[in-house]
């Protein structure tokens, strides 16, 4: 197993450390669900080789050395003793096979994004700066048909072929976020959950919403996309906090 190997023999070590940090912080934010959710990171050019968390390990315990190195074109991996979770393989393997622009993939059942996924209209309207971040940049999966085994994963991957779309609200399920790097993807996941919370709480007020115009929402989204170094600094600060606490995520 990877977790029994010496660190010097493990490939992609900096990427492993970054990804492990996001598992720990996602657990702290209570955005995980027991041992059911999963993150992955492509480590080759076409995205078919990727790191992913081991099956049924709590996010708060995932270490850099625990991460599995998988090949999206090798279905025999499910027959190995250290096989990944079959739904994680079905979803992430499919996305990495068909969407090479999805370098990092994060799937959670976070509370507010999942509430959004349960609404008849699961589109997130631009009612503030955070929600405007996702204007015309998210897609809603309207055809949930059960657990994300490979056929369901293939169907979901087909909704992410437009590189502009970086978030999929998985109707009746949760949310899936993609990005260029671990920092980029985690930052997007964090802000989508915050945006969904704002929207859900605004709906609870029972009064009309102040929705931004399409022009202002698009302008805001573009400005935020070009905001310098925010995602990188966000992750760097989280790692600094973990390091100051002698957390073992990077082991």
DSSP line for 111-132 = HHHHHHHHSSS------SHHHH
Phi, psi (deg, nearest 5) at residue 42? -70, 140
Task: Please check whether residue 209 lies inside any domain of the structure.
Answer: yes
Q: Are 202 and 172 in contact (CB under 8 A)?
A: no
Task: Please check whether residue 251 lies inside any domain of the structure.
Answer: no
Say what the pLDDT of residue 4 is: 38
Say what the pLDDT of residue 150 is: 73
> Is the confidence at residue 2, as pLDDT, over 50?
no
Task: Please check whether residue 250 lies inside any domain of the structure.
Answer: no
Q: What proportions of the chain, in percent to the nearest 5, are helix, strand and coil? A: 45, 15, 40
Say what the pLDDT of residue 10 is: 86
Q: What is the mean pLDDT of the chain?
A: 94
Condensed to tens digits (0 to 9), the pLDDT of residues 136-193 reads 999 999 999 877 677 888 999 999 999 999 999 999 999 999 999 999 999 999 999 9
Domain extent at residue 159? 2-244
Q: Are 124 and 112 in contact (CB under 8 A)?
A: no
With CA atoms as reference, report the closest residue to 61 among 35, 24, 33.
24
CA angle in degrees (0–180, nearest 5) for 230-236-242: 140
Report d(CA 232, CA 13) in Å as an integer. 17
Q: Taking the CB of residue 143, how many other CB atoms lie within 10 A of it?
A: 11
Report d(CA 86, CA 97) in Å as an integer. 16
Average pLDDT value for residue range 237-248: 98
What radius of gyration, in Å, describes the C-alpha atoms of the chain? 18
> Is the confidence at residue 51, as pLDDT, over 80?
yes
Domain count of the chain?
Answer: 1
Residue 171 sits in a domain whose CATH number is: 3.40.225.10
Task: Please check whether residue 178 lies inside any domain of the structure.
Answer: yes
Average pLDDT value for residue range 37-53: 96
Report d(CA 20, CA 39) in Å as an integer. 9
Task: Please check whether residue 222 lies inside any domain of the structure.
Answer: yes
Task: Please check whether residue 238 lies inside any domain of the structure.
Answer: yes
Task: Please check whether residue 249 lies inside any domain of the structure.
Answer: no
Condensed to tens digits (0 to 9), the pLDDT of residues 55-103 reads 999 999 999 999 999 999 998 888 888 899 999 999 999 999 999 999 9
Contacts of 9 (CB under 8 A, 6+ apart): none
Task: Please check whether residue 21 lies inside any domain of the structure.
Answer: yes
Distance of CA 117 to the CA centre of its chain: 15
Task: Kindly state the tokens that stand for 113.
Answer: 């994004």
């Amino acid at each position: 197993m990877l977790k029994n190997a010496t660190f010097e023999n493990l490939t992609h070590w900096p990427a492993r450390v970054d990804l492990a940090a996001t598992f720990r912080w996602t657990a702290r934010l209570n955005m995980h669900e027991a041992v059911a959710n999963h993150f992955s990171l492509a480590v080759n050019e076409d995205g078919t080789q990727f790191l992913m968390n081991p099956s049924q390990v709590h996010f708060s315990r995932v270490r850099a050395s625990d991460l599995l190195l998988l090949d999206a074109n090798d279905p025999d991996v499910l027959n190995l003793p250290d096989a990944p979770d079959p739904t994680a393989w079905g979803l992430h393997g499919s996305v990495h096979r068909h969407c090479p622009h999805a370098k990092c993939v994060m799937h959670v059942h976070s509370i507010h994004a999942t509430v959004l996924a349960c609404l008849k209209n699961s589109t997130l309207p631009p009612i503030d700066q955070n929600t405007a971040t996702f204007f015309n940049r998210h897609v809603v999966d309207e055809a949930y048909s059960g657990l994300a085994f490979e056929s369901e994963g293939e169907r979901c991957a087909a909704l992410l072929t437009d590189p502009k779309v970086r978030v999929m609200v998985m109707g009746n399920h949760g949310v899936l976020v993609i990005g260029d790097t671990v920092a980029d993807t985690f930052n997007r996941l964090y802000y989508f959950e915050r945006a969904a919370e704002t929207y859900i709480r605004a709906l609870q007020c029972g009064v009309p919403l102040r929705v931004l115009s399409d022009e202002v929402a698009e302008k805001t989204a573009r400005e935020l996309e070009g905001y310098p170094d925010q995602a990188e600094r966000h992750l760097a600060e989280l790692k600094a906090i973990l390091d100051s606490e002698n957390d073992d995520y990077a082991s």
